[in-house]
A and B are shown apart, each in its own frame.
Chain A
Amino acid sequence: MKGFEVISSGLMTTIQDLGRTGWTQIGVPVSGAADQFSAALANFLLGKDINSPVLECTLSGPKLKLLIDQQIVVTGARMQVKVNNKIVHHDTVIDAEAGSTIEIQSSKCGCRCYIAFTKDMEATNFLGSVSTYEPGKFGGINGRALKKGDTISFNGLDKNSIKSGQGASQQFDNSWLIKVTEGPEFNRLSSNAKDSIENLEYIISNDSNRMGIRVEGPSLEINESGNMISGPVFTGTIQCPETGLPILLGPDAQTLGGYPRILQVVKADRHLIGQLRPGDQLKFQRISLEEAEKLWLDMALSFPFLSKI
């Protein structure tokens, strides 16, 4: 059945779920929502399986026209949401009738917001996930972002049973403190770089996408000659090439990489990578593996819907 029409697409609006696991051994990245917390929350608030497809809107959102009655939830970056020209709130269930327009405006804080619908959007399932991976042209709508004029279908099932999710709202800002642990090649950094890394301030570069986030700022002194054998990398791995400017890997990260893996964003903070926007300030805070593990277990206890991530 027809779900909604795309009146304008926004900068980059894609269908995502929580990603495609189990295929990294042939180089297929996990993909999925860049901010998994917000995507899962949107589905949770509608009483859906947290892995259901959502729309991921980047920096500036789309304008959509609903073709059937739906309940929707918008989470993530604080982009203003209007239903039939009336401002509505994030993180709450909104009733919208057939014919309603849903307009997501540009963000000032945070990079990506998520829209979940009562019914599931129909999208191409590839290797067990509908997540859009643009470089490989798979998942989503023919592996691409939404375009003006697209009509997205819903499948017939209504699986929701609305729950009252409380207190799950995230804070959004233009400066971020992200917690990290030492990566396998941390010791390639000079002792000066190791000592100062928590004090350095980086600016998110325009050369950033779902694969990786580049930064501008002070160079880290590193013993690197470009001759490592490529080893496994993940969302949240921070690589450092010879130029000394760290690269944070995102949800479409490659599976193997040959630049030193100096740091790893802790599991409890990995969803924040999806909210870093060009121009934002970024600092790192080093913690131990034990602290990182405890943070994640505490977070999963506070938000039981995360248990499937």
Chain B
Amino acid sequence: MLDRVEFSVNDFAEDLILIKCPSDALNQNPLIFWQLSKTLLASLTDIEVIPGEDSLVVKVNLLKNTRPQYLIDLNNVFSTFQPEFKEESSELITVPICYDDEFALDMNDISLSKGLSKQEVIDAHCGIEYQVKMIGFTPGFIYIGDLSDLLILPRLKTPRVFVPSGSIGLANKRTGIYSLGGPGGWPIIGRTPTNFFDPKKEDPSLIQPGMRLRFESITKEEFGNMLSN
């Protein structure tokens, strides 16, 4: 049984309430905001909830309820919230990744700034088992961690206007999969031919926070074959 978590409530906008928690509670349970989002949606009406890894935002409808009333309701949920402490999900997903120069748009910069050879970058990225931390950003974007200390890098100074779908990037302790093409600010290390977001499914995201995940390096030829299948 974990201690009760002291969530704090902060202003974001007149209709947006930002929830945070002490870092030790987050360290103890990295999925706490994912779990809190489910509890909030099951307990309250007329709200939308957007969980991040270290915070969560509740969007309220000021025409349905006053802000003070929403704050009372939120505090009631917090006071009874029991974070789930579960063993890491046994499901292990393998993500094929091709580190070829054609896909690894920032490999040279990554290798230069970290003082590693290209092969050392690849080994550091695909040599370990990760946990899925969060889904978000764009449909099916997957936040994965923790990355090896050897690969910790900031976001790009200016985000790219377009990053191709399947691109895999790095930012700080996270590596992430761009399931859709679009703008993006993470340095790109490779690309996967696998699509993890299927709009035809009832729950389109094929991956859930808490799952275990590893990368498997593939050649450009294997990439092409997997893409056409």
Contact = CB atoms under 8 A, between A and B. Distances in A.
Interface string B8-37: 001111111010000000000000001001
Given A25-B136, A230-B174, A234-B13, 11 more contacts: A27-B197, A138-B199, A183-B12, A226-B155, A229-B52, A230-B171, A232-B56, A254-B182, A256-B141, A264-B16, A289-B14
B138 interface: yes
A254 B55 contact: no
Interface string B157-187: 1110100000000011010000111110100
B227 interface: no
A80 B50 CA distance: 40
B171 A226 contact: yes
A296 B54 contact: no
Interface range on chain B (Cβ under 8 Å from partner)? 35 or more
A307 B12 contact: no
B171 A27 contact: no
Lowest 5 A-B CB distances belong to which pairs?
A226-B154, A226-B155, A232-B50, A232-B57, A256-B136
Contact of B12 (A26, A138, A184, A207): A184
A38 interface: no
Given A229-B172, A256-B134, A297 B62 contact: yes
A26 B57 CA distance: 14
A256 B135 CA distance: 9
A212 B138 CA distance: 13
Contacts of B18: 184, 232
A212 B161 CA distance: 10
A137 B180 CA distance: 10
A227 interface: yes
Q: Which of B14, B50, B203 has the most CB of A within 10 A?
A: B14
A181 interface: yes
A28 B14 contact: no
Interface string A98-130: 000000000000000000000000000011000
B13 A26 contact: no
A296 B63 CA distance: 9
A184 B52 CA distance: 14
Nearest to A26: B205
A227 B156 CA distance: 10
A183 B14 CA distance: 11
A299 to B, nearest CB: 10
Contacts of A29: 138-139
Contacts of B138: 27, 29, 135-136, 254-255
A14 to B, nearest CB: 16
Interface range on chain A (Cβ under 8 Å from partner)? 35 or more
A255 B13 contact: no
B51 interface: yes
Contact of B172 (A211, A227, A259, A297): A227
B127 interface: no
Contacts of A26: 135-136, 139-140, 203-205
A135 B138 CA distance: 9
A183 B10 CA distance: 10
Nearest to A138: B199
B41 to A, nearest CB: 8
Contact of B185 (A136, A232, A258): A258
Interface in A168-191: 181-184
Given A293-B14, A296-B15, A25 B137 contact: no
B220 interface: no
Contacts of A296: 14-15, 62
Contacts of B109: none
B118 interface: no
Interface in B145-159: 154-159
A288 to B, nearest CB: 9
Nearest to B156: A226
A254 B137 contact: yes
